[in-house]
Structure 1
């Protein structure tokens, strides 16, 4: 079979034909133009012959014979140039019979005239002019013949140009028609098919009419459309699958989020277990669920919460010994298991089988290799657990374990806070009220001895000492109440210091001032509490021992926090007194300073007052200060000890 030419072959053949025609027309035009330029140059040269003839006649009349001979040689050279031509200029005569006859006549006429002009005879002026006129007429005829030839070439060039114009029009029309048939129409069909394909008509196909490039493109387009349609159908299927998978994942994430929210909000183990058992039953699609708690030794499992459990099953399995039934796995065997419950299954407690359950899933609740409990899911039909569901249930159970451990840690923290609070109460009572009560006990014994002996002077002195001791003890109790009520609610400690000084001034009548110097970062709340209590201890020592009338508190915020308490009291010799026996509050102050890495310095001299300086480090170390322990419980304890009504505004 003969193969049809391809589109490329057709376009190349058409282009080659157009190129050959264009080159031929351009070459012919250049050749005709070259001929015309040569003929025009010949006309100019022939005109120069006329001018030279006139000069020759003039030379004959005025110049010597040598000049005449020189002029004759130049004339011969011009004739020879016309005969042979000069392609470099270009210059050549468009020879024809007429031009050749005319040129031969010019040469003959010149030969006859030249013979007479170069002789030694004196020139005959009239005869020379007649011969010159005849020669000029011969040249004019020669020029006319050349111009006729040039006019013919020019007319032929114009006709050829008109022909080329018509040929260009025909070629353009032919090219447009062929382009439309071979290129534009197939491209338009491809564009229309592409537009339909882009609009979603995946069944669009193109007819394959030819085996050229556009036929191959059409076949390739059909293959692409078929592949795209198949891929689209497959993609829709995959999208539906992924959408379903994402929906499942969203449900699981929602379940995990709900478990996390429950773990962060549950205030007790019972509330946590009850909320969790409802959520895990809903996620697993179980008919019933139970959460069991195990003691630290993993000896037994106690039912914390159940959802959907029959009453008899909940009461009968409230507490299970480890390993006594399908529920309650030993720690070394704890893992997620799917257990079928059949009539032949050996169970120590048949409650689940009697309730109609056919499958049980057990999930251990473990935290750091410690068995915290177990989650049981009950189904009334056989169940096959997928890996995704297993991972989800185990993740929810890990959240439950973390929440249970968090509640346990919170309980331990509360217990530690209570223990620290009790220790703080014991230290405060021992260092303040216990001292006064011991003194009162001694004075009471002295009073009893004085009454027994009838010593009125000692009796009255003991009564006075008792009165002073009771007043001191009462003042200590009031001061402790103020001490434990003080809290910082602002970022800056200034407001709390002003409130403390205001109460101190109201109780003692001393003049107080507060100065704040510099700017710095605020102190943490726990550090503020400790610093504030140390300042209160310093003020208490001023009240008890200094005999001052004025107290100045100066606070430096930069470069580090420094608190100075200065009084104008009697003062004392610091070097003469052991540090542990300055006065009762100093031990408490040093203990508080040690907690936050601060330094307490005491400067005093007899008659010059006392200055207590509390300087904090540049970076306060992180300390676990039980601020909450110094709260309402402590206030209530002190109020009970002092038998004073516990109110927020007690001075």
Structure 2
């Protein structure tokens, strides 16, 4: 089995039955704790080891006691022969240790019978050995020892009775030794077998303990590790099998509960993330539409193409099948169809112009949206306005318009007002051939787009009014310029023509000759005035073109006048003036130099232009000058001064006129830093 298959086999599916089993397992008490298992396993292993060791020690002790018994049993032969020797010595009358030898032999028999745990010494627990020992002991006590006593008592000669019985005793003793050795060899084999068994048990026990520890510890830990790895891989349906009731079973159960809660939380979080993602996507879409519409509505398109492109974009974004843009008329209180898209020609003709309150389109011009969800229900009810329009009864005109839309195949209509600063300018509508429900976010978006379109339309109206006002003001300045220059010249020419007509009627040729040069001079002067006015009013400047324009104006003055003109143009770090302010400054300079050329009779003229923090223009001359009180009394009759004041007012600058009769004049225009526009 591969690792993936083995990992898959370790996890139980998350089913209701498995969940119930987990709950039942959690409710049952733990019957076999790991500590109990370890104690039982250790106790059994220790008992087995101690038993085996005890058996080997017992066998070793038995072998040691049997070995001592073999020695003592073998010593019976030696001591029996020693008794014979001592008995012989006694019968020969020699000193003897017969009693000592007899006592030692009896002591040996006693110890063999009773055993000696201190040595240790004992006979093997075997029937044959015991029977053979009893024969040896009986042979000594019942035959040899009495025979030894009889031979000792006889005094002299060979101890024939004892010696006759001695070989049989020695044979019995030898047979006893053989039996003990045979039993010892058997126990030695058992000792070897037990040692081999102990070694085998140690190996098997070690393997068994390792296997049990693997089952009890390694396998659950591996399951937990695999479970954690699958959780890291976001497999939240992972469950560990609870097949034990020990600590690891409890841990697996806790793991399953934790993963179940984590799965629920993750699913809830995923749902929330999906909702938030959808909301963000909707908001991003709304922001994109608002941004694109705001950028589009700021383009300098005419009103009708602007509204058409606005409607086409809305239909594409909201998947509408048709749409209209209607503009309210302030003159007749009607809604005029400006653009329509996707509507049948019959419907367009029927609704090209309608009273503002005849249908939902008019009601929406008050900025409140009117959403007709189902036109069929709207017409069928005949009493209540469908969707979100209200609860008032439908008028005949409203029913007629709804039937027009229904016959054209539209099922739903959404209408919104075009508003600028609470001023209704018209409505736009989206027509759908299916039932269409609009969420509040789309309603708010369309309302905002209606306000943007209203601002764009209002700006275009204001721009048109501003252009009309600028044209009117410029015409006024042109009229004032004509009145100040050409009108006076033409009045002079008219008077001279009247004198010429009288002289011609009287036949006074001398007077005619005097008047004709005056007429020619007047015509030439009027022609020059016209050329100068045309040149002034056609002047156009771009950014940074003030200095060349000033140089051209000064050069033209030098060509047209005998006065000596000096120019002081200083740029002291001030920002450049925009083109419209440069043009007004140039007009003031041209008007001032024109007045000097026509009226001052000056010999020297000084022009100073200083572009610093404030912009300053100064024109000074040493001509005839004028009386300021007289000019003030004339008011606007002196058109040149009035034109200069008008242009200074446009600039939001300060114009100072200073003069006295016979002492020249001074004109100063100051444009403060706060009144300067960005170039």
Deviation, 1:598, is 0.8
Indicate which of 568, 572, 595 corresponds to 1:541: 595
Structure 1 residues 266 and 538 mapped into 2: Cα distance closer, same or farther (>3 Å)? closer
Structure 1 residues 605 and 297 mapped into 2: Cα distance closer, same or farther (>3 Å)? closer
Deviation, 1:593, is 2.9
Q: Which residue of 1 aligns with 2:485?
A: 432
Q: Does 1:597 align with 2:631?
A: no
The separation in 2 between residues aligned to 1:600 and 1:271, in whole angstroms, is 48
Q: Does 1:462 align with 2:515?
A: yes
| 2:325–2:428 contact (8 Å) kept in structure 1 | yes
Structure 1 gap ranges (5+): 11-176, 628-651
| 1:541–1:583 contact (8 Å) kept in structure 2 | no
| 2:366–2:417 contact (8 Å) kept in structure 1 | no
For the pair shown, the structure with the greater C-alpha radius of gyration is: 2
Structure 1 residues 207 and 440 mapped into 2: Cα distance closer, same or farther (>3 Å)? same
Structure 1 residues 551 and 216 mapped into 2: Cα distance closer, same or farther (>3 Å)? farther
Q: Which secondary structure state, in structure 2, belongs to the residue aligned with residue 432 of structure 1?
A: helix
Q: Which residue of 1 aligns with 2:558?
A: 505
Structure 1 residues 533 and 181 mapped into 2: Cα distance closer, same or farther (>3 Å)? same
Structure 1 residues 348 and 542 mapped into 2: Cα distance closer, same or farther (>3 Å)? same
Q: Which residue of 1 aligns with 2:236?
A: 202
| 2:600–2:624 contact (8 Å) kept in structure 1 | yes
Indicate which of 351, 360, 363 corresponds to 1:329: 363
Q: Which residue of 2 aligns with 1:471?
A: 524
Structure 1 residues 360 and 496 mapped into 2: Cα distance closer, same or farther (>3 Å)? same
Structure 1 residues 206 and 576 mapped into 2: Cα distance closer, same or farther (>3 Å)? closer
Q: CA RMSD in A?
A: 4.1
| 2:425–2:454 contact (8 Å) kept in structure 1 | yes
Q: Which residue of 1 aligns with 2:292?
A: 258
Query: Which residues in structure 2 correspond to 1:354-503 (within 5 Å)?
Result: 354-491=407-544, 493-503=546-556
Query: Which residues in structure 2 correspond to 1:196-275 (within 5 Å)?
Result: 196-206=230-240, 217-265=251-299, 267-275=301-309
The separation in 2 between residues aligned to 1:491 and 1:213, in whole angstroms, is 89
Structure 1 residues 448 and 383 mapped into 2: Cα distance closer, same or farther (>3 Å)? same
The separation in 2 between residues aligned to 1:2 and 1:245, in whole angstroms, is 50
Q: Which secondary structure state, in structure 2, belongs to the residue aligned with residue 305 of structure 1?
A: strand
Deviation string 1:600-648 (CA, Å, 9 cap, x unpaired) is: 2334674x7544333344533889xxx9xxxxxxxxxxxxxxxxxxxxx
| 2:375–2:410 contact (8 Å) kept in structure 1 | yes
Count of residues paired in the alignment: 459
Deviation, 1:310, is 0.7
Structure 1 residues 523 and 563 mapped into 2: Cα distance closer, same or farther (>3 Å)? same
The separation in 1 between residues aligned to 2:411 and 2:595, in whole angstroms, is 77
Q: Does 1:615 align with 2:667?
A: no
Q: Which residue of 2 aligns with 1:556?
A: 610
| 2:334–2:353 contact (8 Å) kept in structure 1 | yes
Q: Does 1:348 align with 2:404?
A: no
Q: Which secondary structure state, in structure 1, belongs to the residue aligned with residue 400 of structure 2?
A: coil
TM-score (norm 1): 0.61
Q: Which secondary structure state, in structure 1, belongs to the residue aligned with residue 437 of structure 2?
A: coil
Q: Which secondary structure state, in structure 2, belongs to the residue aligned with residue 440 of structure 1?
A: helix
Q: Which residue of 1 aligns with 2:80?
A: none
Indicate which of 319, 336, 339 corresponds to 1:302: 336
Q: Which residue of 1 aligns with 2:54?
A: none
| 2:30–2:245 contact (8 Å) kept in structure 1 | no
TM-score (norm 2): 0.58
Indicate which of 511, 522, 527 corresponds to 2:581: 527
Deviation, 1:4, is 7.5
Structure 2 gap ranges (5+): 1-28, 39-209, 383-395
Deviation, 1:242, is 4.0
